[in-house]
Chain A
């Protein structure tokens, strides 16, 4: 049962996929599983859909684990999924959101990479696709989107951890999301979750030009990180990707923003300088709990500010 599932430990891909099946079986009126593609190595790519009915409702997208070694993100995704099923009908904010909108949650965005971190190299970040003419494997799936693709802020070297790939959407893990988002056509908020360094970021990453909605995104970020900090005092900085960290081209939320998804954000979860990607499992639940408050803030704003 998902009630006895241990949310305070890291899990393998198989365990997470089993968890998703259990959750859907326990909540057939609310949750369903959709396969949006297959990874380079042939693993299914699943998303969970939380919906209370209606056709093609406006929707919120959340993904975790596009960088496979950021284990706290997949673990948080599992916790979010359970939280949604627990809180619907109990928490007025989430209930209002789900009464009007759908939520899509992709817990393991890069299944090949994630499996590889469990079997061979805990530090693996990229996909596992082969590049012709190179001995190096994988593409950074957060540099492979069709937004400023190939501009400074990504590497053209297949051996680099920020290798952008041969062309935009070359990675099936990216292309599957692109196809889904385009086919759906009514996604209003897109939140991509990474770790670490405690940041909430909005477009752009490839240019220093401000996004047309920068003022609103900045205000919303401020509210979200305030909500996040209210639980354990964890401090997040916020801003555009290029200003808050560095230039990054071909990134997820630059593409989603270019598709007209105004509320496009990317998180960098805990921590700030002790464990990095090796966050102890004891911190999974606090991390997920505080992040959830920020997510709720963004989702509620999306509900209340239709466009």
Chain B
């Protein structure tokens, strides 16, 4: 099973078209293995991206160095998945 420990989902706010383009450039960098939950479209529309732990530093430095603001939407994807799994398992156990 794929492990998402340390993966974060960032909510990126591109303030202008140039910043949207910069985030689109990030999308093309396959080695970062970014997973865009909400694709870059236009200024003011949130961009959500899941970033593997191994790429977090590079992505955050990229965003900060270009003055692109972001917040952490999900601190650790795996912990949410664990919660989800526990909820399903406990329901299944009760059902049985």
User: Which residues does A use to contact B, with CB under 8 Å?
Assistant: 6, 9-11, 119-123, 159, 161, 196-197, 245-246, 273-278, 280-281
Contacts and interface: CB of A to CB of B under 8 A. Distances in A.
Contacts of A119: 1
A123 B41 contact: no
B84 A276 contact: no
A197 B38 CA distance: 8
- Which 6 residue pairs of A and B lie closest in terms of their CB atoms, listed nearest first? A246-B41, A121-B2, A9-B91, A278-B80, A276-B37, A281-B87
A6 B87 CA distance: 12
Nearest to A274: B73
A3 to B, nearest CB: 14
- Give chain A's interface secondary structure class: loop
Interface residues of B, number: 28
B4 A273 contact: no
Contact of B73 (A9, A273, A280, A281): A273
Contact of A10 (B2, B45, B46, B84): B84
A278 B30 contact: no
Contacts of B15: none
Among B2, B42, B46, B77, find the residue whose CB has the most chain A CB atoms closer than 10 A.
B2
Contacts of B88: 9-11, 281
Contacts of A10: 84, 87-88
A6 B1 contact: no
B73 A6 contact: no
7 contacts: A161-B35, A196-B37, A245-B45, A246-B41, A274-B73, A278-B81, A280-B87
Contacts of A197: 38
A123 B2 contact: yes
Contacts of B38: 197
B73 A123 contact: no
B2 A273 contact: no
Contacts of B42: 246
A6 B91 contact: yes
Given A120-B1, A159-B30, A245-B39, 16 more contacts: A9-B88, A9-B91, A119-B1, A121-B2, A122-B2, A122-B84, A123-B35, A161-B36, A273-B46, A273-B73, A274-B73, A276-B73, A278-B77, A278-B84, A280-B84, A281-B87
A196 B38 CA distance: 9
A276 B77 CA distance: 11
B9 interface: yes
B74 interface: yes
A243 B9 CA distance: 25
B7 to A, nearest CB: 9
Interface string B1-12: 110100001010
A130 to B, nearest CB: 19
Nearest to A248: B39
Interface in B20-39: 30, 35-39
A10 B85 CA distance: 9
Interface in B30-73: 30, 35-39, 41-42, 45-46, 48, 50, 73
Given A121-B1, A122-B2, A159-B30, A277 B41 contact: no
A9 B42 CA distance: 35
Nearest to B45: A245
B45 to A, nearest CB: 8
A122 B30 contact: no
Nearest to B95: A6
